[in-house]
Structure 1
Amino acid sequence: MATFQRARSDEQRAMRRQSILRTAADMLDEMPVAALSLNELSRRVGLAKSAMTRYFESREAVLLDLLSEAAARYRAEIAATLPGWVDPSASAPVRARQVAARLAKTFAAHPTLCELLSVQHAILEHNISVDVATRYKRSSRDGMRWLAERLRGLLPELDDEQALRASHMVIILVGALWTRSRPAPAQLAAFQADSSLAFMHPAFGEAFEAAAATFLRGLIAEAADAS
């Protein structure tokens, strides 16, 4: 556990916030989001809980900032590879499946991002102020617009509104399917004991690819019908 002097300058406060976020990220390598408490985070950072609230108003505020940073890293990582995600000569439905497959693979390589997205609405967006909620939602909006623009570049059959719908659905699918692919121990034991329940325990990559491809193909068909 580190012990810090009070941060007095803007630079020191920014460094302290980053230290808190790095510590929280390290904790998520050890435990699920539900087990991460502000008390334990404060102890590991070396701050009293009352001092911690000078930087983050709640545990959820810390995790929302962590989610925004994880999403930004994901976008930076995939940006350079996006042009190679599809065969430009392939049909639109084939390209939709190619995009879905690459999205599945790249999200699966970022488990912390997926874990945070899976609890975003049920946990992280509670116990926060309007200011924190607004800041996070604007960051989320900008990220979805970024992804929508890239999806339209790969699937030019989509218009701007459809591409934004696709981007939003991608985030929804990541959160929902990540949760379902990682059941609690009792649930996992039930799936293993009764093979008729196996379909309720999908592998994240396979389930995401199939669902995303179906949604993208539906949007492409919708665009064709409207033209």
Structure 2
Amino acid sequence: MTDTAPASRLADIRSAIARAARLANRKAEEVSLIAVSKTHPPESIVPLLEAGQRVFGENRVQEAAEKWPALREHYEGIALHLVGQLQSNKAEDAARLFDAIHSVDRPSLVTSLARAMDKVGRRPACFVQVNIGDEPQKGGCPTAELPALLAVCREAELPVKGLMCIPPAEVEPAPYFALLAKLGRDHGLAGLSMGMSGDFETAVMIGATHVRVGTALFGARG
């Protein structure tokens, strides 16, 4: 028996995105839903593919390399986004496998990615991850260092399309999303990767172009 729950959840989330976009006088098509499939096996992903979802996110290069080549053989048009931290020594594998990388956060990674992209002949879209709450335990570029990191990206000719953030937990996310949107405007970057299962509607209303939704689509991980 086919599990209809993922398709039903997908429809609900798409409706919620459309509703939030409408409230903000935006078009739902301006928002890309990234289905974050980290830790979920192919059999959990297939129902979403069958329902028409084509943009997926993974946290780890190795896990994505194990799951997605076979799925891509059966389904056309898949776009794969790396939404987790990236080690510099995995830059070449990431450049081969992913269509977008959301966790560019330090000059050494910029250098590795630029070199890897030249080598493999692919240029995935890049988002600079901002540590929007300046939390010491979190990845991302400190907000004060963002201009310098973007300058490094430009010098390396990295294809930066926008900014990404994960706001602090257990607090109202809207001010942090608004800050990321302002930073994007200040630096001429249209892409805003922000909003996850618990706050994607707020993110859409504040200007998110990409929302990263896992649990609300797949259910809680075991």
User: Which bracket does the TM-score occupy, shorter chain normalised?
Assistant: under 0.3
Q: Name the structure where helix makes up a greater proportion of residues.
A: 1
TM-score relative to the length of structure 1:
0.26
TM-score relative to the length of structure 2:
0.26
Q: Name the structure where strand makes up a greater proportion of residues.
A: 2
Answer with 1 or 2: which has the greater Rg.
1
